[in-house]
Amino acid sequence: MKRATWSLVLLSAISLCLPGYATEDDRPKIGLVLSGGGAKGAAHIGVLKVLEAYHIPVDYVAGTSIGAFVGGMYALGYSSTEIETIMMGTDWAKGYSDTIPRQDLSYRDKQFRDQYNIPINVGYSDDEVKVPSGLLQGQTMSMLLRNATNLVPEYTNFNDMAIPYRAVATDLVTSKAFVLSKGSVVVAMQASATVPGALQPAEVDGTLLVDGGIANNMPVDVVKAMGADIVIAVDIGSALVGKDQLNSTVAVLNQLSTMLTNASTERQVALLSDRDILIRPDVGEMSTTDFAIMPKVLPLGITAALEFHHQLETLTVSDEAYQAYENHKSRLRAQWQSELKLPLARVVLENHSKVSDTLILDTLGLKQGLVVNRADLDAAIERVYALNQFERVNAEFRDTPTGRELLMITRAKSWGPDYFQLGLNWEDDFTLDSTITLDMAYTLTDVTENGGEWHNELRLGSEKLVSSQFYQPLDSDQLFYVQGTGKYEINDWDIYDGNNRVAELDKSSFQLFAGIGYNYTNAGRVELGLIGEWGEISNKSLLTDDFSYESWGGYFKLGYDTLDSISFPTSGNRLNLNLYWRNDDYPPFIDQDSGEGSLQIEADWKGAVSVGSHGLVGKAAFATVNKDGLFSVHLSELGGFLNLSGFHRNALVGSHKLFGAIMYQYDLGRDALGMTEFPLYLGASLEAGNIWELSDQIAVNDLIYASSLYLGTDTDLGPAALGIGLTDTGDKAFYLFLGKNF
């Protein structure tokens, strides 16, 4: 039988056999101190199980970092078994990413996310470049803590909890310990566990707070000040590593951090008396960040606590006294839990941004009279955070004489309101061709009252572009908008015969767009506008003179996008329909129609479904123009990875396009290799399509069939893939991508 099972059996026997050694009136007051230690905090639960088995009432709780979380849960009235279930069932790794899921972003922000695939948080204001004060802002972590604790209201004093409670953080300005004794339990827990540099400092009452382990990792002094006669302290700190392991910058920094933490712990150990109990589970060399170790750590807490069974027995109370203690905790817990069923009396917004209150409250969607549960609040906060305008969105319930109040706090990005964006795209098909582009953008936000934006872009590399766009919402809810765009671009316009390039042309153009649009849903928009284009095509070996043209007309665009990933989706759909009416003016030697212009239609769709580690992705594309046999610079292209694999990118060009594909994706990384940070997809595709110059040439028996096999993943730098494609015409190609959307 495993050690953990023996430990639980022993605890059950203890709870049945122990006599009562003290009454409630004359017993000493017990203070529990839980230290920081990250994932090793599961050992605290093991200690709690022993205390419960010995019928030892806890009168005061103080904790640091993970100890503040476990201690706070116990102080709210949760049992050790309930805390174990919650803690083991929480995906703590999610707390170390504040990235908004793609499917939650607005349609416009999705396009920016796809193009600027390198995630940087860099801004400019007040004549200086700004970055966040932490790699993460703590948004997701606060939601994990809120889910764990349930919708606990703010306390005017943590003494009013089922067990009086304190959390300890470090004042970033003074380096002194800061004791949190009131307000939001979630804020207190998170402030105590805010790792400097990794997480943005928490601000409480104007004080910047970081992880309490720096100043006081095991707050014995705090629980003594609360009134404890006897202290039970649990130390799960890390051990110093040997010289042979100090072989990197990270290792040295971790060693220094451990030194500081252990030094603060030893200062607290010196405060313990002979009556106090210091429990040190054998977890010193275990990881603080690998939460997969928690099931192994919990029994170590039980084992360490049982080593003090003689001292613990002296703290046992009678069954009647312990039951009275449990009943007291249950009443206080039931009091705040009963308030969860109260309807919402009002929403109070504390908005520290230029985003309109109307937009925030309408996006929140929580109305007076609604009984708000955790799922409702989570979804509401996620909607507001997905506006992509804030570094933090918090919510706290306050019970007032006039009813339950929800306080919403939104904070603008501290590195804004003007931002830099960066995108990288590398594409190689193992020939002499290699395409690398770098997109750099500078966006000014909050230019106008309704959230106007001025977006400026520079693209370098195989394609060159300079672009500027002004985007102006017309209402406070940002449903209607107008936009104007001007851009100048230079790129290659290659002509292929099959997979063989027969001509290389240079195309440069200046384009103007002006449109009015409607965001009919967060995932979709419709836009109507005018376009103008002035271009030039040149090739000194083929054309004696540069080929100049002009084009003007109008457009209609309809878009809808709920994909969770642009390149390797597992759910959602993406649909685009573009209509262009143009009147083109070409040189006299080009045969032109004397009609009133041409109508071009472009439509494409991509959708995905998945079950477990298996997924299916579908793609379809259609394009046509209403005039055949006439020259045009506005053509459709086909060819490349998953766009008729086996051909070079855009090898097929013409007026009429038809394409369809289905891809099977297996998440090899998570299912077979145990990878958790990024998926690793093993995929295969079946594709069919072609491009025709004349509409009467379109025929099913003229379709080209293709297939591919690939490995791909979504990384912090965007999608990456390695694949091979084959066609039934005998063409084949190898592909390597980084940052390329397909």
Cβ proximity of 524 and 573 under 8 Å: no
Residue listed under structure tokens 């919990």: 298
Question: Of the candidates 320, 390, 313, which has an alpha carbon nearest to the alpha carbon of residue 355?
Answer: 390
| Alpha helices, DSSP H, located in 270-403 | 294-306, 309-313, 319-338, 357-364, 374-385
CA 46 to chain centre: 32
Asked whether the bond before 417 is cis by omega within 30 degrees of 0, the reply is yes
Low-confidence spans in the chain with pLDDT less than 50: 1-6, 21-22
Residue listed under structure tokens 């791909």: 712
Question: Of the candidates 325, 471, 242, 308, which has an alpha carbon nearest to the alpha carbon of residue 29?
Answer: 325
Q: Residue 505: its pLDDT value, please?
A: 78
How is residue 333 written in tokens? 């817990």
Q: What is the spatial distance between Cα 101 and Cα 523, in angstroms, rounded to a whole number? A: 13
Crossing angle of helices 66-76/42-53, nearest 10°?
A: 40
Diameter over CA atoms, the chain? 108
Instruction: Write the pLDDT tens digit of every residue in 215-264.
Output: 999 999 999 999 999 999 999 986 666 777 777 766 666 667 777 777 88
Q: What is the spatial distance between Cα 401 and Cα 638, in angstroms, rounded to a whole number? A: 66
Question: Of the candidates 510, 552, 557, 555, which has an alpha carbon nearest to the alpha carbon of residue 532?
Answer: 552
Q: What is the spatial distance between Cα 717 and Cα 738, in angstroms, rounded to a whole number? A: 7
Q: What is the spatial distance between Cα 374 and Cα 90, in angstroms, rounded to a whole number? A: 15
Query: Has 65 been annotated as catalytic?
Result: yes
Angle, alpha carbons 37-43-45 (nearest 5°): 115
Cβ proximity of 566 and 590 under 8 Å: no
Please report the DSSP string for 126-143 in residue order.
TTEEE--SSSB-SHHHHH
Phi, psi at 55, each rounded to 5°: 55, 50
Q: Is residue 576 packed enough to be buried (19+ CB in 10 Å), middle (13-18) or exposed (0-12)?
A: middle
Q: Which of 211, 276, 429, 561 is catalytic?
A: 211
Cβ proximity of 389 and 484 under 8 Å: no
> Which residue type sits at 115?
Q
How is residue 656 written in tokens? 């009429």
Q: What is the spatial distance between Cα 276 and Cα 286, in angstroms, rounded to a whole number? A: 26
| Alpha helices, DSSP H, located in 150-192 | 185-192
Question: From residue 493, how far is each of 499, 536, 651 by CA, in Å?
Answer: 15, 11, 10
Question: From residue 241, how far is each of 234, 293, 427, 445, 694 by CA, in Å?
Answer: 21, 19, 44, 48, 73
Q: What is the spatial distance between Cα 463 and Cα 551, in angstroms, rounded to a whole number? A: 22
Question: From residue 467, how far is each of 84, 484, 485, 511, 527 by CA, in Å?
Answer: 54, 11, 7, 9, 19
| Alpha helices, DSSP H, located in 490-649 | none
Question: Of the candidates 63, 223, 209, 90, which has an alpha carbon nearest to the alpha carbon of residue 144?
Answer: 90
Cβ proximity of 634 and 676 under 8 Å: no
Q: What is the pTM of this model?
A: 0.88
Q: Which of 7, 35, 65, 264 is catalytic?
A: 65
Which DSSP state fits 647? Answer: B
Phi, psi at 190, each rounded to 5°: -70, -40
Q: What is the spatial distance between Cα 522 and Cα 366, in angstroms, rounded to a whole number? A: 17
Q: Which residues contact 699 (CB under 8 A, 6 or more apart)?
A: none
Q: What is the spatial distance between Cα 539 and Cα 399, in angstroms, rounded to a whole number? A: 75
Q: What is the spatial distance between Cα 365 and Cα 380, in angstroms, rounded to a whole number? A: 7
Q: What is the spatial distance between Cα 50 and Cα 56, in angstroms, rounded to a whole number? A: 9
Alpha-carbon dihedral 220, 237, 239, 265, rounded to 10 degrees: -20
Q: What is the spatial distance between Cα 488 and Cα 44, in angstroms, rounded to a whole number? A: 62
Percent of the chain with pLDDT over 70: 90
Question: Of the candidates 243, 192, 241, which has an alpha carbon nearest to the alpha carbon of residue 213?
Answer: 192
Query: Has 462 been annotated as catalytic?
Result: no
Cβ proximity of 58 and 72 under 8 Å: no
